[in-house]
């Protein structure tokens, strides 16, 4: 069964520093991959998704993620963190031909001034 692993339940960076949030999936057949962000007391919002084609996907708010089949990874990055990026981030996967979205446990990002 598909599983999604996010390394690090909490990540802390300084404002202006690189943000790197890690995500790995388990299936041998690459799924469709998503990153969502959840701000306090709000619903999840899609940041970006990978379906087919270019492996480097650009999303909203300056985030991007790269799909690496050889590493079964879909890490999320942002070159320069902003205070407003503080939130919880979820990586998710959907197997091709399926509808069940499997979410990782989430990574809470803290941004220090």
Partner 1 sequence: GAGVSQSPSNKVTEKGKDVELRCDPISGHTALYWYRQSLGQGLEFLIYFQGNSAPDKSGLPSDRFSAERTGGSVSTLTIQRTQQEDSAVYLCASSLVAEEVETQYFGPGTRLLVL
Residues that bind partner 1 (CB under 8 A): 4, 32, 36, 41-46, 49, 51, 90, 92, 94-106
Q: Which is nearer to partner 1, 86 or 94 (CB)?
A: 94
Spatial contact of 87 and 37, defined as CB atoms under 8 Å apart: yes
CB of 37 vs partner 1, minimal distance in Å: 11
Q: Which is nearer to partner 1, 69 or 99 (CB)?
A: 99
How many Å apart are CA 99 and CA 112, to the nearest integer? 38
Backbone phi, psi, residue 28, to 5°: -75, -30
Q: Which is nearer to partner 1, 52 or 113 (CB)?
A: 52
Nearest to 19 by CA among 65, 71, 69, 70: 65
């Amino acid at each position: 069964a598909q599983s999604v692993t996010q390394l690090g339940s909490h990540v802390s960076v300084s404002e202006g520093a690189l943000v790197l949030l890690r995500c790995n999936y388990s299936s041998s057949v690459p799924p469709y991959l998503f990153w969502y962000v959840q701000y306090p007391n709000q619903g999840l919002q899609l940041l970006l998704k990978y379906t087919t084609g270019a492996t480097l996907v650009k999303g909203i708010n300056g985030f991007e993620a790269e799909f690496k089949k050889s590493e079964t990874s879909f890490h999320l990055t942002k070159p320069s963190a902003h205070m407003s990026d503080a939130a919880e981030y979820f990586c998710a996967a959907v197997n091709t031909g399926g509808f069940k979205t499997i979410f990782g446990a989430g990574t809470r990002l803290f941004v220090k001034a």
